[in-house]
Amino acid sequence: MKIQKLKDHVAVELSGGEKISELGYKYINKSVLDGKFSHALPMKRILKNGQDRILFSTSGEKYISEIEDDLDDDFVEIFEKALNDTITYVSSNSFLQKEDICLDKNVIFIDDSGDFKFLLIPYGKCHAQSDDEFQNTVNDVLKYIKSKNSNKIIKNTNINEIDISYKGMYGSISFYIVNDNFIIGKDAACNGVISANNAVSRKHCRIFKEEGAYYVEDLHSSNHTYVNGKEVLQATILNNGDVIRVADMDFNVSLSEENI
């Protein structure tokens, strides 16, 4: 399956062995057009170069991956409800299956009324997953949505410097950061070296400055990076009093800021 984002629609092209369930296709479209189900995008099936292709209309929709505004807790709750409603919808129909829900975060949408929309691709039985595999996919997209909720931006503040400090079984460690890019890890070439803890990756995470604020970003570490107990899945803003967990080490964050 190949997904292509275009100006006012998303094109899904099926690959060898994939095919559309005719009954599933008709059922989804009828539900959307009749207003009986609001979390799916209307679609049109065409044949291009002998290959099955589905066009999903995205007019008036926003990609959630492109939303940069601060998001409150209601955003996460509404998304979870929309996803659960969609899983219930496909599970209650013999023409559909849970794997028909495309959970690629790059093609999940929200409209002006705050209603979430998914691509429902009626494959038939050619994309079956175990319950565990499907739940892992669901967990991944929920983590992404929650990370957008936690990625708040500090406005009208210029952070001049940041200090992170640890005290525990590995001793006392402090990193005083004034430069714009600071890499933490076990490697001797890192700016902040943690050599006593094997759970820390060679290049574990980095703290960087952008537009007057400091962020932390995980560098594909083995034991992950967290801010206030939430895994860092994308660059996450740092606020005064936050706790950064590097593997199993908790660093307290102290910011020196100048209001502008």
Question: What's the rounded Cα separation, in Å, for the pair 25 and 42?
Answer: 10
Tens of pLDDT, residue by residue over 80-136, are 899 999 999 998 888 888 889 999 888 999 888 888 999 998 876 555 677 788 888
Phi, psi angles (nearest 5°) of residue 252: -85, 135
Residue with tokens 């691709």: 121
Tens of pLDDT, residue by residue over 91-105, are 888 888 888 999 988
Looking at the DSSP bridge assignments, the partners of residue 193 are 185
Structure tokens at 244: 């950064």
